[in-house]
Structure 1
Amino acid sequence: MTQLKQIKLIAFDLDGTLVDSAPDLALAINAMLVDLGRSEFSEQTIRHWVGNGAEVLIKRALSGTSVIAEDLDEALYLKAKPLFNRHYSERLCVASKLYQGVGESLAALAELNIPMAIVTNKPGLFTQPLLEQLNLARYFDVVLSGDSLARKKPDPLPLQHLVEHYQLNIDQLLMVGDSKNDIQAAKAAGCASLGLTYGYNYGEDIALSGPEFVADSLETLVELMNGSVTA
């Protein structure tokens, strides 16, 4: 690995990168399914459905598989969505917690005076409240949720929007995430990415998506940014 001297902005995914939110998502999904008279799923199963936003998560739960059923009744989804939103709002931060080293790493990056932003597929209804409840909101100047713009990851639009907002070149942005959606968005935008080996990547090795850097924790990112890790 080498240090990233040219980076002027770091974009972070949220779920699976900074926060293990799967326990509360699973609680909300299962409460929604119970309301609909349907069978519940294990937290481990639901973990593999997280990462593409609430709509996809709900539809996967209604389909009972990671592949959304082609004949899924849209009326059923429209009935399920407000149930999920209510249950998740009530359970937003019951069991969710920061991954090891996240709090310390964000504090260290803030001391380096590097602007940081959130780029998540999570709906805005939940994003800011979760950041505030976990005491993370202070670190991020810009927060882009899954419904902030016309398109979300793996589309490059959120990352392109960021560099335009900060008036930077795309090679001055680093995307940090746990999912192939994050890496694909970075590649499409033309910026570097760091893939984390934990989180929610559908059981796939994040290295297979081809990020420029792979790390087991955010502490490695701090080392890269301050130059203590070299090639």
Structure 2
Amino acid sequence: MSLGGTGLPFDLILFDLDGTLIDTAPEIALAVNDTLEELALEPVSPEQVIRWIGHGTRELLVQALADRWGMTPQAVQAAPDFANAEACFQRHYAARCGTRSQPYPQVIPALDALRSAGVRLAVVTNKESRYTDRVLDAHGLTGRFDRVISGDTFPVKKPNPLAVDDCRSRFGIARERTLLVGDSAIDVQTARNAGVAIWAVPYGYNAGQPVADAAPDRLIEDFGALQPDALLTWAALVDT
């Protein structure tokens, strides 16, 4: 594998947020149950919330209400009470953002090492920007990225490849020099749609299913595999 201008196999690395960079499930579950309590509904389990993460917080709330109201997601969105429930959730999640989440092990050292090596870094998440910004700020991560694309940055979200294409175009990086790192089948499909490499971490959410089932290009145990020396070792092995 040829090395780019950074001297590494990739010049642009894009990261999913929830379940990849940061373990956000605990605070999301709390916000969901804060909302259900205010609506006089029974709570849901953390495991249920994890299965619903990935398509943005609105869709997650729809799934929770569908479960508690005994309705289809389509019926929930058409229900007269949905707007009030959504406003309630927005208030609770804004209060919870950054309070019970934490970066996964080795994330911050790997990001810092990649930045020092000149790699362009971006976040591509389906989470709405008001929550993305709060979570990144809470953990001192905002300044570590050259670009942050949230679920409401463009009219479309992952697995649409627009966010990846935007970053590549903005930084002038070819597809073969671009890597997406995620935790879900959504991320794998996004990378496939964008024509870029996809590596996945096994500790994320992915609707409660093993991400290996989505057939990423590589499954990495943790962000230690993204340290520059580890990337060079991997590239040398690929070439042998």
**Band the TM-score falls in, shorter-chain normalisation:** over 0.9
Distance 1:207 1:86, change over 3 A: same
Superposition deviation, residue 168 in structure 1: 2.1
Q: Distance in 2 between matches of 1:173 and 1:96?
A: 28
2:216 aligned partner, one-letter code: P
Indicate which of 19, 36, 54 corresponds to 2:22: 19
Q: 1:32 aligns with which of 22, 31, 35?
A: 35
* Distance (Å, rounded) in 1 between the aligned partners of 2:163 and 2:72: 25
1:144, CA displacement in angstroms? Answer: 0.2
Distance 1:136 1:60 in 2: 29
Partner of 1:113: 118
Larger radius of gyration: 2
Instruction: Report the Cα offset of residue 216 of structure 1.
Output: 1.2
1:45 aligns with: 48
| Structure 2: tracts of 5 or more residues without a match | none
Taking structure 1 as reference, are residues 125 and 171 closer, same or farther at Cα in structure 2, changes over 3 Å only? same
Map residues 66-215 of structure 1 onto 2, 5 A cutoff.
68-74=72-78, 75-215=80-220
1:59 equivalent in structure 2: 62
Unaligned runs of 5+ in 1: none
Q: Which amino acid aligns with 2:64?
A: A
Please state how far the C-alpha of 1:192 moved relative to its aligned partner. Answer: 0.5
RMSD: 2.1
Identity fraction in percent: 33
Match of 1:227 in 2: 232
Q: Which protein is richer in helix relative to its size?
A: 2
Count of residues paired in the alignment: 230
Structure 1 window deviating more from structure 2 (142-151 vs 216-225): it is 216-225
Distance 1:159 1:174 in 2: 10
Q: Output the amino acid matched with 1:51.
A: G
Instruction: Report the TM-score, using the length of structure 2 for normalisation.
Output: 0.89
Contact 1:3 1:225 in 2 (8 A): no
**SS in structure 2 of the partner of residue 202 of structure 1:** helix
Q: TM-score, normalised by structure 1?
A: 0.92
